[in-house]
A and B are shown apart, each in its own frame.
Chain A
Amino acid sequence: MNTALSIRNLCKTYSGGLEALRGVDLDVQEGDFYALLGPNGAGKSTLIGILTNLVRPTAGEIHVFGVDARAHPERARTLMGVVPQEFNFNVFEKTLEILVFQAGLYGIPRNVALPRAQELLERLGLGDQMNQIARHLSGGMKRRLMVARALVNAPRLLILDEPTAGVDIELRRGLWEILTDLNQKGTTIILTTHYLEEAEHLCRNLAIIDHGRILEQGPIQDLVRRLEMQTFILDLAAPATLEEPPAGFQVRPIDPSRLEIDVPGGLTLNQVFAALEACGVQVVSLRNKSNRLEELFVHLVGRGRQ
């Protein structure tokens, strides 16, 4: 499998002296759905900005499908599509014209761009808005317009910077479906998001960045498996009071019918249920107290800052 994006020792120091990136190394394989996570100010936007030609790197190497993006920036950009965090289209243009204009900048003639733009707008639920002036669109429509615009040059690598920030659940789910479909058809996707369940739902691999450094990267499943402790909330079949908590577990009652239990890494849920049953407690359902990825994120970022 080819490497879609390879970054080596990428550094960025802003003119004021702020070191936004301190030697980032990152590899994203072709066909991957990759999450880039980090707290505010971690360096995510700087990294995306460098990839999309909005920020000049101080040092480092970037290859997009083997093309040296610093030596041949235009060739590298033909392979990418970008959905930025903030709306950045001409709000006085019509929706269809925004897409056709973007296609033209990629050298796609108007007679080819027009049907492609119409198809994309239909696919993103903007078929009725083709001749609408962009500033009259709702926030969710504008967000979808930016996704459609990023796809107009049929990019092999799609970069989305917090594409679902501030959008409602229905729209978020709709975008997830579109992105999953694109990924299944072969588009490599890099996503930054603050919604960790979004990353866990969509992505296979991730990198966690903080203070301009990659703290951890790899398959999401492998990383969450390394969690030292998970906390579950258990719904009980009948109200119960535990005189003696089961050995090896920390148990806290929430109310007579619910318990919170810390399960150390390495133990199975079968062992949890067996231990509780021995105490006379029957469990009807359970859920993670917090998203597993969230726990990993908090753990890694907290460790990185210590």
Chain B
Amino acid sequence: MNTRRLWIALATLLHREVGRFLRIWMQTLLPPVITMGIYFVVFGSLLGPRIQRIDGFSYIEFIVPGLVMMSVITNSFSNVASSFFNARFQRSVEELQVAPVPDWIMVAGYVGGGMLRGILVGFLVLLVSLAFHPVRFHSLAIVVAFLVLTSLVFALAGFSNALIARRFDDISIVPTFILTPLTYFGGVFYSISLLPPIWRGLSRLNPILYMVNGFRFGFLGASDIPTWIGLVTLMGLAGALVTLNLVLLARGVGLRT
């Protein structure tokens, strides 16, 4: 296919993926906004005033970037994992396989859809947070960079998960047993400077710590980790996951016998 036809194929896939999550917004957009709104009420308004300032910021101010990032991570991942696994389960993925669609278009279409949902949910959560505290940007460029790269990494991870998964249970294992613990221990609710040295060291092995802190730096100008390490980590993970997905597709994992 020539370049124009490839772009049409990519736009077609993206159009359907975005249309899908917008059509079922009660399942895809509303729940994370409500959940994060409850977090803002409980941790920001009720408990927040009783918690001392962290790095000179009020508790609600400190947790907003982390909670936005948490929404971006879970929504980017789950959108791709569920949509692509469902297409495999229904066998509608064969529509893509019989068409002259290169593997990279398949990855880009699904991952693009996941990124857009993650970013949209992150934006909606940020809007809700305005009801509790005004937002400020230390560096909008860093906010955007972390937002895009984080949604990319987790959408790619969702695609890998959906390719490898054999049952619906397999696509809930990663969010439940890996993403949720890593996110909660990734500095969303606290600064790792508050932890004993051994836990501080272990926390540095958690990639989500770098994403949350980098994103928070974009808002507050304060971080436990140098921002460049976060950006390099995210770019490295994105590169590795793109390669992994293309290799899995080339080998026909999950799609071809």
Contact = CB atoms under 8 A, between A and B. Distances in A.
A55 B255 CA distance: 9
A107 B1 contact: yes
Contacts, number: 87
Interface string A51-85: 01111100000000000000001110110101010
Interface in A1-47: 14
Contact of B100 (A49, A77, A97, A109): A77
7 tightest Cβ-Cβ pairs between the two chains A and B: A107-B5, A104-B12, A105-B99, A74-B100, A88-B91, A77-B100, A90-B92
Given A75-B100, A77-B100, A54 B94 contact: yes
**Tier of interface size on chain B:** 20 to 34
Interface in B60-115: 87, 90-92, 94-102
Given A49-B257, A88-B90, A77 B11 contact: no
16 contacts: A54-B256, A77-B98, A88-B91, A89-B90, A101-B95, A104-B9, A104-B15, A105-B9, A105-B12, A106-B1, A106-B99, A107-B1, A107-B4, A107-B8, A107-B100, A108-B8
Contacts of A74: 1, 100-102
A109 B8 contact: yes
A53 B97 contact: yes
B5 A90 contact: no
A228 interface: no
Contacts of A90: 87, 90, 92, 95
A296 B120 CA distance: 63
- A interface residue count range (under 10 / 10 to 19 / 20 to 34 / 35 or more): 20 to 34
B8 A102 contact: no
Contacts of A55: 256-257
A238 interface: no
Interface of B: 1-2, 4-6, 8-9, 11-13, 15-16, 87, 90-92, 94-102, 252, 255-257
B5 A106 contact: yes
Contacts of A177: none
A106 B101 CA distance: 7
Nearest to A105: B99
Interface in A272-298: none
Given A53-B98, A56-B252, A104 B257 contact: no
A153 B1 CA distance: 13
Contacts of A89: 90, 92, 95
Interface string A127-149: 00000000000000000000001
Interface in A82-131: 82, 84, 86-91, 93, 97, 101-102, 104-110
Contacts of B90: 88-91
Contact of B94 (A75, A84, A93, A153): A84
A84 B99 CA distance: 13
A17 B15 CA distance: 41
Contacts of B100: 73-75, 77-78, 105-107
B257 A52 contact: no
A49 B97 CA distance: 11
A101 B98 contact: no
A144 B256 CA distance: 26
Contacts of A52: 94, 97-98
A169 B257 CA distance: 34
A97 B99 CA distance: 16
A54 B6 contact: no
Contact of B96 (A75, A87, A105): A105
B101 to A, nearest CB: 5
B179 to A, nearest CB: 26
A74 B1 CA distance: 7
Nearest to B15: A104
A53 B256 contact: yes
